[in-house]
Amino acid sequence: MQTDQAFTFVLFGGTGDLSMRKILPGLYQAHRDGVLGKAGRFIAVARAAPDREGYLDWVNSHVRSHVPKAAFEDEAWQSFLERFDYVRLDATNPEDFHKLARAVGSGEGVRVFYLATSPSLFVPICRSLADNGLSERARVVLEKPLGYDLKSSRAINDAVGEIFAEEQIYRIDHYLGKESVQNLLALRFGNVMFEPLWRREWVESIQITIAEKLGVEARGDFYDKTGALRDMVQNHLLQLLSTVAMEPPLSMDSESIRKEKLSVLRALKPLPLNDISKVAVRGQYTSGVINGQQVPAYRDEQEVPPDSNTETFVALKAEIENWRWAGVPFFLRTGKRLAESKAEIVVNFRPVPHSALGPSVLQTVGNRLVIQLQPQESIRLYCLAKQPGPGMQLQSVHLDLEFDEFLKSSRMEAYERLLLDVIDGRLALFVPRDEQEAAWRWVEPILEEWSRPEKSPKFYSSGTWGPAAASAMLAKHGTTWLEEEN
């Protein structure tokens, strides 16, 4: 995948945490790999650095540690930095955008405006871009969360939609750019043996987990206004669910893929308004030990109120009311300060209807597909085999697709892939407005229930797998989370 076209890439929030950890490392790797056209240039926009030299010093100090050591090359890094201009700008001051207009100029190629800022700045920035003639030949990238509920999301989309056409708006969800998510589609739709099994007759349950060892770090003020439900469930987890559960698209073009994912989100069974607690667990971490170090409780983190009820953990049961998935529970889980950092999809197939080999506790263990998204990207198929020796003793074995080991070719990171897609105008891996609003609509009953002041989260110790209620929810369906079974 390579782009040769001219472009101007403008990064708002150029000194922010997301830019340092994800966006700039992704752009650097695309530059190093030679897949960015030489006519492309970058303009960073921020308030923190006084000038270009100060900005590049900031980048040197904050970005290099987030670039994989194997990918860092001094010559490539220096030539990458040479492609940057810098504009010191206050995004809330429309007058400052004259400076940006001069820096962008009227050169050829597309203009990409990446808004790695608070959602409250999306509309003011877009209006100032339009007022200064910068909306032509433009694409605007909006980071999540887009608003704080359905109403605010619609307000932002309406205002941005007055300036940019829908095909110019790229709502990014970096999980959709992961190699293993793309391989999930290849696994399903490129191999005849899996598609017949991908339905309620053969699938007992599906688990989707995004777990982090990290706490809120220095983002307490932002996180306390957001919480895990808005930060992770409404976007990442529901996007992964719709990718797992979608019908085969007519083709891999953006329109076909988006149509099938939207159908899944619209088929989500409405949550029970009278008893959300049956299908949703809300947790918050207390102090505990992570990697041998004592870590503080969420309420003791910087810029977090001491009586905060914001959730740092969510576990949900979702159901899809369509022909393929009726009756199959989808268990979604995310949290901070958990025992392990991982993201994975677990497809539990039904045990054989009658075992001629005798009863075995391994029946469910041996009928499972595990798609790991991070820390390593892999696909592992578990099945049962006979142990060597007399008798018919079974053991669980697995077939692995370890991308790094098997495919050998260098793997493209999620942000690198998605940034190239924006420049080239590929929309398939970005979230359209109707998908986003369908997701907000489904989680709104939970937002409303948890907003009641008397509703407090269930506490869990840092370094564990969250509240016991999350395990109890699965136990009612005769199953467990993957790590509990092991």
- The structural domains of the chain, with segments of one domain joined by +, span 7-143, 176-412+433-485
Whether the pLDDT of residue 346 is over 70: the answer is: yes
pLDDT reading at 343 higher than 70 = yes
Q: Give dist(CA 332, CA 318) in Å, integer.
A: 8
- Among 3.40.50.410, 3.40.50.720, 1.20.120.530, 3.30.1330.60, what is the CATH number of 7-143? 3.40.50.720
pLDDT of 168: 97
Length of the chain: 486
Contact between 169 and 160 under an 8 Å Cβ cutoff? The reply is yes
* Average pLDDT value over all residues in the chain: 90
pLDDT for 4 equals: 66
For residues 227 and 95, give the distance between their C-alpha atoms in angstroms, rounded to a whole number: 34
Catalytic residue among 62, 66, 98, 236: 236
CATH T-level fold of 176-412+433-485: Dihydrodipicolinate Reductase; domain 2 (3.30.360)
> Lowest mean pLDDT: which of 117-131, 208-222, 348-362?
348-362
Contact (CB, 8 A) for 130 and 140: no
Binding site residue list: 47, 144, 174, 178, 212, 231, 336
Name which of 171, 170, 253, 163 is nearest 423 in CA terms: 170
Confidence of residue 139 (pLDDT cuts 50, 70, 90): very high
- Give the burial string for 157-181 (b: 16+ CB within 10 Å, else e): beebeebbeeebbbbbbbbbbbbbb
Query: Known catalytic residue: 354?
Result: no
- As a whole number, mean pLDDT of residues 315-325 equals 97
Question: pLDDT over 70 for what percent of the chain?
Answer: 94
Decide if 215 contacts 320 (C-beta within 8 A): no
In which band, very low, low, confident or very high, does the pLDDT at 24 lie, cut at 50, 70 and 90? very high
CA 312/CA 289 separation, integer angstroms = 17
DSSP 410: P
CA distance 266 to 435: 8
For the annotated binding site for substrate, the residues are 174, 178, 212, 231, 336
- Average pLDDT (358-362) is 54
DSSP output for 355-366: -TT---TTTTTT
Over residues 128-143, the mean pLDDT reads 95
Between 121 and 400, the more confident residue is 121
Amino acid at 125: I
Residue with the two structure tokens 């599906």: 206
What does the H/E/C string look like for 126-182?
HHHHHHCCCCCCEEEEECCCCCCCHHHHHHHHHHHHCCCCHHHEEECCHHHHCHHHH
Whether the CB-CB separation of 121 and 92 falls below 8 Å is answered with: yes
Q: Residues comprising the binding site for NADP(+)?
A: 47, 144
Q: Which pLDDT does position 84 carry in this prediction? A: 95
